[in-house]
Structure 1
Amino acid sequence: MRIVFAGTPAPAVPSLRVLAASDHEIAAVVTRPDAPLGRRRTLTPSPIAVAAEELGLPVVRAASLDADAGRRITALRPELGVIVAYGGLVREPLLSAPEHGWINLHFSLLPRWRGAAPVQHSLIAGDSLTGVSVFRLVAELDAGEVLGMREYAVGPRAVAGDVLEDLSGLGAELLRDVVADIADGRAQAVPQEGTPTYAPKLTLDDARVRWGEDAAAVLSRVRGTTPEPGAFTTVNGQRLKILGVREHTADVSLPPGEFAAVGREVLVGTGTHAIVVEQVQPAGKGAMSAGDWWRGLRLPVLRADS
C-alpha cells in the first residue's frame, strides 16, 4: 500500500523504521516543525524528521493537520494513513481521504487511558498491566474500533520512560502486522469494550509529590512522572527533583514529607510509612545520590514544604 506516516517524538521512530523496511511505500512522513531546544533554544528537527531523512523519505513539516496540510497529504493519494504520537488531530475531510482511512498506534489497552499521556497515567494509577493498541481513527478521541492489541507487564520499579521505550518496540511489531492484514484484506476491527478512562497531557502540578498519600501512591507518582515532567517537591522554597525512590524493607514511620537518615539510607515519610530516596537533583545542581545530598546539608532532619 501507499502510506502516509505522521509522528513526532522518539517513541514513533521504531514504527516508522518497521514500515519503511516493509514492502509498503511511504509516500511522505508528516511531523511537527523544528522546535527550539536546550538553553540556547537551537531549532532542532523532531526525532521522526531525523529518522525519515536518514531513510531517504520525503518529510512534510506541519504544526497541525489543518486544511493546508490536508491538501498536501491528499495530493499524495495515500491508501492508508498511519499516525503514531504526531501531536495533532486528524479531521475531515483528511480523515476519509485514504481508501483505508487512518489507523493509530496508542500506548495503552484501549479504552483505558485515552489521550496524550497514557503511559504516565497508567503508572501513576499503579497499573501492573498495560500494552499497545492499533485502532481506526474516528472523530471522537481514541474511540475507534480496535484492530489489534498486545499486553505488557509493568515491572515493580519501572519508570514511564522505560515503559514507553519498551512499548514503542512492541507497538511497532503490532503495527507492522495490522498494516499487513489491512493490505491482505484480513483485518478485523472490533469495538472497544469497557469504561473509558482518560490520560490528558501532564502538567507540572501532576509531578508534585503528595507526601500525605500512602507509600504506594507516592512511589507510583514518581515512577509515572520520570523522566518527564520530573517528580519534585519543594524544600525551603527550592525545588528538589526526586529522581529515584523505592520501598523500605523495614516499617519505619516518619511524618509525611520529613527526610531523615536512617543507617546508610535517606528516608522520607509518607501517609503510611517511610520510603527510601535514592537519587535527587537540587535546584541549580546536577543529579546526585540522596546520600551525597544529605551529607551536604548537615542537618538531623529536613521537612518538605507543605
Structure 2
Amino acid sequence: MRLIFAGSPAVAVPSLRALIAADHEVAAVLTREDSPQGRRRVLTPTPVAVAAEESDIRVIRANRLDDAVAQQIAALEPELGVIVAYGGLLREPLLSTPPLGWINLHFSLLPRWRGAAPVQRAIMAGDEITGATVFRLVEELDAGDVYGHFSQRIGSHETAGHLLDSLADGGAELLAGVVSALAEGTARAEPQRGDVTLAPKLRLADGLVDFAQHSSTVLSRIRGVTPEPGAFALLQGERFKIHQAAPAREHAPLAPGVLENRDGRVIVGTGDEPIELLEVQAAGKRAMLAAEWWRGRPASAPAAFDVDGAAVGS
C-alpha cells in the first residue's frame, strides 16, 4: 500500500515505524512545522519528522493544510492516508485525495472521548477502561466508521503520559493490521455505537487542583494532567506544581488544602480523605521529593494552599 502518513508528537512514532516495518510504502510524512523548544527556544523538528528523516522519507511541514499542501500530497498519488495525532483538522479536498480516503488512530474507545485530549479526560473522569480505535476519517470530529479497536484497564496510579505511551504501542499494532487488511481488501468498518462524550484540549487552568473535592477526584485530576499541562495549586499566590501524589487513608482527615508533616510525609487535606504529596516543585525551584521540600521551607511559611486568593485555614 502506498501511504501518506500525518503525525507530529512522539506517540505517533510507533505507528509510523510499524507501517514501515510492514513493508508499506510511505511516500511522505505530513507533520507540524519546526517549533521553538526549551528555555533557549531552539527551533526543533517534531518527533515524527525526525523518525521520517531517519528512514529517508520525504517530510512535508505544514501547520495549515491549504491548497498548496493538498496539491503536494495529490502529486504523490497515495492510495491511503493515515493520521495519528497530527495536530490539525483535515478537510476537503484533502480528505478525498487518496482513493481509499484516510484512517485515524484515536486513543479512546469511540464514541467516548472524541477530541484532542481523550487519554487525559478519561483519567480525569475516573474511567477504569480505555483503549484505542482506528476509524475512517470524516469531516465531523472523530465520527467515522470503526475498522478496529482494543481496550485496556487504566492503572490506579497511571498518569496520562504513561497511559498514552502504552496506548501508542498497542495502537501501532492495531493500525498496521487495519492497513494490511485494507490492502488485502478484507477490512470492514462499522458505525460507532454508544453515547458521545467530548475531550477538548486541556488548558493551563485545567491543571489547578481543587482540594475541596473528594480525594479520588483530586488524584484523578493530578494523574490526568501529568505531564501536560501539569497539576498545580497556589501557595502564597505562586504556582506550586504537584508531579506525584497518592492516597493517605490511614491518616486522620484535614481541612481541604491544609498541609501537615506526619512522620516525614507531607499530607494535604481534601473534601474527604487526605492525600500524600510525593513529588513537588515550588516556584523557581527544581522538582523534588515532597519531604525534601518540606524540610527546606521556612518554619513560618503558611501550611496551607490558597483558595480564591487567600490561604485556606487562615
User: Could you state the TM-score of these two structures normalised by the residue count of structure 2?
Assistant: 0.96
1:175-218 deviations in whole A, cap 9, x for unaligned?
Answer: 00000111111111011011110111100110000111100000
1:201 and 1:2 map into 2 onto residues whose CA distance is 32
In the other structure, the counterpart of 1:303 is 304
Deviations 1:119-142 (A, max 9, x none): 101110111110000000001000
1:125 aligned residue: 125
Answer yes or no: is 1:113 the counterpart of 2:113.
yes
Shift of 1:66: 1.8
Partner of 1:170: 170
| Structure 2 counterpart of 1:206 | 206
Q: 1:45-81, CA deviations, whole angstroms, 9 ceiling, x for partnerless residues?
A: 0000000000111111111222111111111111000
Q: CA deviation at 1:42?
A: 0.7
Q: Is the 8 A contact 2:233 2:242 kept in 1?
A: yes
Q: Matched residues in 2 for 1:64 and 1:166: separation?
A: 30
1:264, CA displacement in angstroms? 2.1
| Partner Cα distance (1:62, 1:2) in 2 | 21
Question: Which range is displaced more, 48-57 or 62-71?
Answer: 62-71
CA distance in structure 1 between the aligned counterparts of 2:217 and 2:237, rounded to whole angstroms: 24
Deviation at 1:299, TM superposition (A): 3.5
Measured in 1, the distance between the counterparts of 2:65 and 2:80 equals: 16
Q: Which residue of 2 aligns with 1:291?
A: 291
CA distance in 1, matches of 2:252, 2:32: 49
Q: Deviations over 1:149-199 (max 9, x none)?
A: 000111110000000000000000000000011111111101101111011
Q: Does 1:191 align with 2:214?
A: no
Aligned pairs, how many? 306
Extract unaligned runs of 5+ from structure 1.
none
* Partner residue, 1:31: 31
Query: What amino acid sits opposite 2:219 in the alignment?
Result: L
1:144 Cα deviation after fit: 0.2
Tell me which residue corresponds to 1:248. 248
Give the match for residue 65 of structure 2: 65
Structure 2 letter corresponding to 1:168: A
Amino acid of the residue matched to residue 60 of structure 1?
A: I
CA shift for structure 1 position 251: 4.5
Question: 1:1-52 CA distances to partner (integer Å, 9 max, x unpaired)?
Answer: 1100000000000000010111211110010110001111110000000000
* Partner Cα distance (2:248, 2:14) in 1: 37
Percent identity between the two aligned chains: 55
1:222 has 2:222 as partner: yes
Aligned to 2:275: 275
Aligned partner of 2:103 in structure 1 is 103
Q: Which deviates further from its counterpart, 295-304 or 34-43?
A: 295-304
Determine whether 1:153 maps to 2:158.
Answer: no
- For residues 18 and 273 of structure 2, the distance between their equivalents in structure 1, rounded to whole angstroms, comes to 46
Q: Secondary structure at the match of 1:100?
A: coil
| TM-score computed with the length of structure 1 as normaliser | 0.98
**2:4 partner SS:** strand
**CA shift for structure 1 position 298:** 4.2
Q: Distance in 1 between matches of 2:83 and 2:179?
A: 12
What corresponds to 2:311 in structure 1? none
Give, in whole Å, the separation in 2 of the partners of 1:175 and 1:234.
42
Aligned mates of 1:60, 1:225 — CA distance in 2: 31
Structure 1 letter corresponding to 2:288:
M
Structure 2 counterpart of 1:72, which letter?
A: Q
Q: Residue by residue, what CA displacement relative to the aligned partner does 1:259-281 show, whole Å, maximum 9, x if unpaired?
A: 11112211000011111110100
Distance 2:147 2:105 in 1: 10
| SS across alignment from 1:105 | strand
Which amino acid letter does the alignment assign opposite residue 121 of structure 1? R
SS at match of 1:303: coil
> SS where residue 122 of structure 1 aligns?
helix
The equivalent residue for 1:5 is 5
Compute the RMSD of aligned alpha carbons. Answer: 1.0
